[in-house]
Amino acid sequence: MVRVAIFISGGGSNMVALLDDMARSGHAGIPCVVLANSEDAGGLAHASARGVPTVVVDHRPFAGDRAAFEAAITAALDPFAPDMICLAGFMRKLTAEFADQWAGRMINIHPSLLPKYKGLNTHARALEAGDHVHGCSVHEVTAALDDGPILGQAVVEVRQDDTPETLAARVLVQEHILYPAVLRRFAAGDRSLLILPS
């Protein structure tokens, strides 16, 4: 079995989708810990309710020292011996050193069809550009922001009356399908590109 650590910052809806899929039969992954950077992260309660251990490494005492923050994360992870990390709404930028340490073993979901719209405000940017399609991508995490090899994508049609909020809501539905599907394959050693039917 592949031991999976999941990092969150908030409510953790993608985390819930991952945990629920790992609880189904035939999955090579098993959740070993959910780590949050704030004790207020709503997803912690969801993880605990599913019997998954949780830890909090608050980023605030490490203001300006990301290396020390990541050292604390590493120390918190050590007892759980994860084989890989899934970022699921973890809103802290990780250093190149941390990304390199987990190279090939850390994945993330991003709300755009990468390589388009790396970073924030992806839905508003897609609308401003007049895009007809938008979506989400799962990718391996590298030192460069939202730049690792793409493992899966799901496409969402952009409607004429869309707002960033309505578009985000439809993309999120696809995130909850795509991320578990990619993790299931990734944990089993399959890194081929998965494109969900639109």
Cα end-to-end distance, the chain, whole Å? 32
d(CA 71, CA 76): 9
Q: For residue 14, what are the contacts with CB-CB under 8 A and spacing of at least 6? A: 88, 89, 109, 175, 176, 179
Number of CB atoms found within 10 A of residue 42's CB: 14
Tokens found for residue 37: 């950077």
Q: For residue 150, what are the contacts with CB-CB under 8 A and spacing of at least 6? A: 114, 137, 138, 139, 193
Backbone angles phi, psi at 125, to 5 degrees: -65, -40
Tokens found for residue 73: 């994360």
| 46 labelled catalytic | no
H or E, element range at 124 = helix 122-128
d(CA 35, CA 106): 14
Please tell me which residue in 27, 110, 123, 176 is annotated as part of the active site: 110
Hey, which residues are catalytic here? 110
